[in-house]
Structure 1
Amino acid sequence: MTERFEAADLTRAVQAGILQPGQEHALLAFLRRQQPDQPSFQLAHVAYYFGAVLIIGALGWLLTEAWMRIGEIALLLIAIAYMALFTLCGLGLWRRGLQIPGGLLGAVAVSLTPLAVFALQRLLGWWPEDDGLGDYHDYYVYVRGGWLGMEVATVLAGLLMLRLLPFPFIVMPLAAALWFMSMDLTDLLYGTDFSWEQRRWVSLWFGLALILASLLVDGRTRRDFAFWGYFAGLLAFWGGLTLMDSGSELGKAFYCLINLSLMGIAVALRRPLFMVFGALGVAAYLGYLSYRVFADSLLFPIVLTLIGIGLIGIGVAYQKRRETLTENLRQALPKGLLALLPALRR
């Protein structure tokens, strides 16, 4: 369990006579060097992440149509130049102690890797035109076996960037590339026989594998690399599960049970992400049941409102009692299973 210390805590220690006047500043500086950046809702941190996502969207997708008009050579040079610029700026900020903006710039550089490989493939004549592949923005929309080169390069770039800048958010573009790769590999193997139902199953199993891999990392690294792995894994797993077409009431009830299990995992691991996805799934199931009962009734919006209020109440209760709930649940688990769970983070 990781504790956070602020200047006010050490000032009280000086007032209590535990520390000598002047020692609190040196101790606080030492503790901040030892502790990695933790997720925060400070305004500056929100601005950092929002800016990084905006850059990824602009350079990786929104501007592609304009860049395509200037040719493959210019597109490749611009992509490489931006990757080098963001990497160097990220390293500079990292070494100055600004690890969040520095790491985010590293993630931006990784996200541009598919664009550089796309331009290189077109320049060398390696772009499979007969595979139904369109422009670069189709990379984020369609499943095609021809995208594999871009995805492999992104994974390698992400691993190299993690060596340079061990920042957890860099796991996100790496995980997204692996997710796309799982789809595209299946498309390459099955071809036109690869149905949308099968794609949902591939997404579900890939998400589950990524969640389990993040579980192995969780609590075993100084930085919280597991967070973004859980996030990407839950997106793939929950998205594939939710989009499946269950024609039976038993299947829908099983869907609700899985989401309740996600909420239980949130308590055991103290990971609110699982609670969010689980609560959304339970709300969807309860909304379905209320529609079945109150279809074409004025009570339907009232029931949905009550469900929403209930979920908010669950969230408030969990936030107030999460440590007690986690401790009680862990004590009830078998010792063998408890040994497999990661150490808790605050």
Structure 2
Amino acid sequence: MKVYKEDLQWAASQGLISSQQVDAVWDALSERNSDRPQFNFANVAFYFGALIVISAMTWFMVLAWESFGGSGIFLLASIYAFCFVIMGRRLWFDQNLKVPGGLSFTIAVCMTPLAIYGLQRWTGFWIQADPGTYRDYYHWIKGSWFFMEVGTIIAALIALKFVRFPFLTAPIAFSLYFISMDLTPLLFGKTDFSWKQQLLVSMWFGIACLIVAYLIDIRTRRRDGDFAFWLYLFGLIPFWFSLSFMGDSNEFQKFIYCLINLGLMVLSVLLRRKVFIVFGAIGVFGYFGYLASTVFNNAVLFPVVLTILGIFVIYLGILYQRNSQAIERFFEGLLPEQLRQILPRD
């Protein structure tokens, strides 16, 4: 729930607080929340600038990096990372500029896969065959990228130990997503794995990532920063896409797929995570589209039934918006006390 100054002024008009307290409370809340990410011009500039630097230092500069050779790539990437750590330390600890300081540490972490790539190119050590240039890291599924991804996760975890900046979980989640794909050739061999095996590994890895995100979610307070969002997102991506592309001609399995997506929508309410309802709604809508185009292609009443169902869903949304807290309390009341205790709280 967001609070605006107009809300405090309304509270004063209702006699809940005095008019003199409005400015004092607002100034105190503004100072308390000054370090939290907010959607304003300054933070947009910070994040946009950081993404430009990350892109320039990693993806857009790959051809230039290759000209330095393995040793040059390793040394330059390490120097860049060290410089951004120094800049982040100065901004975060000395000047109390949490957002630009945390982004500086994130940039340093994002240099890790490039540094490890340079080291492996320099030494010639690959867990499998030579995977090609660094640009291929973002395009091709290969087991030889594994150490680059694990190294990035370790670097981000070390940074999080000293700097509690939620965006540092983004490179962790991104690397976990890449691992979910690159792990398949390590498990099934360089060329022997099938598309179905790839989907199976990605799906289970996505489930594991979602479990880790949930464990983080129940152990952190979201008002101090959302440390689980990126893990939820990059866990849902491999899980949902793998589940969707593992489709079978079996109608019962397709129905189960619809039920799983409905379950994701229910989880979005219990976990208070909108990202679940996005993926779940797309899955359910896709199933309805399949029914309309294949199963009930010639059924005149099917579009009418779907229209009525859609209007009913909109009506449910209106009811939920008007009575969201009461509905959430009702559903939580249906759960055993042990389950209520393990639900995340805002």
TM-score (norm 1): 0.81
Q: Which residue of 2 aligns with 1:276?
A: 278
Corresponding letter in the other structure for 2:170 = M
- The two structures, once aligned, show a CA RMSD in angstroms of 3.7
Q: Deviation of residue 126 (structure 1)? A: 2.1
Distance change (3 Å), C-alpha of 1:296 and 1:70: farther
Q: Deviation of residue 136 (structure 1)? A: 1.1
Q: Distance in 1 between matches of 2:34 and 2:12?
A: 25
1:165 to 159, 163, 166: 163
Q: Which residue of 2 aligns with 1:242?
A: 244
Number of equivalent positions: 338
| Secondary structure of 1:215's aligned partner | helix
Tell me, yes or no, if the aligned pair for 1:110 and 1:173 is still in contact at 8 Å.
Answer: yes
Identity score, percent: 42
Deviation readout 1:6-56 (Å, 9 max, x if unpaired): 55666778896957969955x656545655855644454444444433433
Q: Which residue of 2 aligns with 1:136?
A: 134
Are 1:341 and 2:340 an aligned pair? no
Q: Distance in 2 between matches of 1:120 and 1:316?
A: 54
Are 1:146 and 2:148 an aligned pair? no
Q: Distance in 1 between matches of 2:297 and 2:45?
A: 43
Tell me, yes or no, if the aligned pair for 2:9 and 2:19 is still in contact at 8 Å.
Answer: no
Tell me, yes or no, if the aligned pair for 2:176 and 2:234 is still in contact at 8 Å.
Answer: no
Q: Deviation of residue 144 (structure 1)? A: 2.2
Q: Distance in 2 between matches of 1:163 and 1:46?
A: 25
Tell me, yes or no, if the aligned pair for 2:180 and 2:206 is still in contact at 8 Å.
Answer: no
Are 1:72 and 2:74 an aligned pair? no
Q: Which residue of 2 aligns with 1:188?
A: 186
Q: Distance in 1 between matches of 2:321 and 2:135?
A: 40
Q: Deviation of residue 147 (structure 1)? A: 1.7
Distance change (3 Å), C-alpha of 1:30 and 1:87: farther
Q: Distance in 1 between matches of 2:198 and 2:120?
A: 26
Q: Which residue of 1 aligns with 2:125?
A: 126
In structure 1, stretches of 5+ residues that fail to align are none
Distance change (3 Å), C-alpha of 1:29 and 1:73: farther
Tell me, yes or no, if the aligned pair for 1:183 and 1:203 is still in contact at 8 Å.
Answer: yes
Q: Which residue of 1 aligns with 2:101?
A: 102
| Secondary structure of 1:193's aligned partner | coil
Deviation readout 1:308-339 (Å, 9 max, x if unpaired): x8799489646565434322221222222222
Q: Deviation of residue 77 (structure 1)? A: 3.0
Tell me, yes or no, if the aligned pair for 2:85 and 2:108 is still in contact at 8 Å.
Answer: yes
Looking at both structures, which has the greater relative contact order when contacts are Cα pairs under 8 Å and sequence separation is at least 6?
A: 1
Are 1:91 and 2:113 an aligned pair? no
| Secondary structure of 1:131's aligned partner | coil
Distance change (3 Å), C-alpha of 1:271 and 1:146: same
Q: Deviation of residue 143 (structure 1)? A: 2.6
Q: Deviation of residue 127 (structure 1)? A: 4.2
| Secondary structure of 1:176's aligned partner | helix
Tell me, yes or no, if the aligned pair for 1:269 and 1:326 is still in contact at 8 Å.
Answer: no
Distance change (3 Å), C-alpha of 1:29 and 1:86: farther
1:227 to 211, 226, 229: 229
1:81 to 63, 69, 79: 79
Tell me, yes or no, if the aligned pair for 1:5 and 1:28 is still in contact at 8 Å.
Answer: no
Q: Distance in 2 between matches of 1:46 and 1:276?
A: 24
| Secondary structure of 1:126's aligned partner | coil
Q: Which residue of 2 aligns with 1:288?
A: 290
